[in-house]
């Protein structure tokens, strides 16, 4: 993964998760740790990612407290990190589902 393609919390490389099956033919695939993936999708904020984030909360694959802490590890200005936290804390606009943990 080229770092320029996504905004990912600092330390993500140390948290990568190895994946091997018979189909990888002895090779190892590496995937983002779920909270790093969550935050990278939150930064992108596309509609399909918002649905993904809601599903992660709904199926208890993410906890709000951990997500908020991981946002603190993002590079860049503090005001952008606060904007991202507020996306999770604020109620959704009319006709939209909130992303936050209590949205299910």
Beta carbons of 63 and 1 less than 8 angstroms apart: no
Q: How far apart are CA 12 and CA 40, in angstroms?
A: 11
Whether residue 97 is predicted with pLDDT greater than 80 in this model: the reply is no
Rounded to two decimals, the pTM is 0.81
Neighbours of 52 (CB within 10 A): 15
End-to-end CA distance of the chain: 32
Delimit the domains of the chain by residue range: 3-92
pLDDT tens, 66-82?
Answer: 999 999 999 999 999 99
Residue 102, pLDDT score: 60
pLDDT tens, 29-66?
Answer: 999 999 999 999 999 999 999 999 999 999 999 999 99
């Amino acid at each position: 993964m080229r770092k320029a393609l996504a905004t990912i919390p600092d330390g993500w490389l140390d948290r990568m998760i190895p994946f091997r099956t018979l189909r990888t033919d002895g090779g190892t695939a590496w995937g983002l740790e779920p909270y790093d993936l969550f935050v990278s999708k939150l930064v992108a904020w596309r509609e399909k990612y918002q649905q993904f984030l809601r599903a992660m909360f709904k199926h208890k694959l993410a906890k709000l407290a951990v997500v908020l802490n991981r946002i603190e590890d993002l590079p860049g200005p503090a005001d952008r990190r606060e904007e991202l936290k507020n996306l999770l804390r604020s109620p959704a606009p009319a006709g939209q589902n909130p992303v936050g943990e209590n949205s299910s």
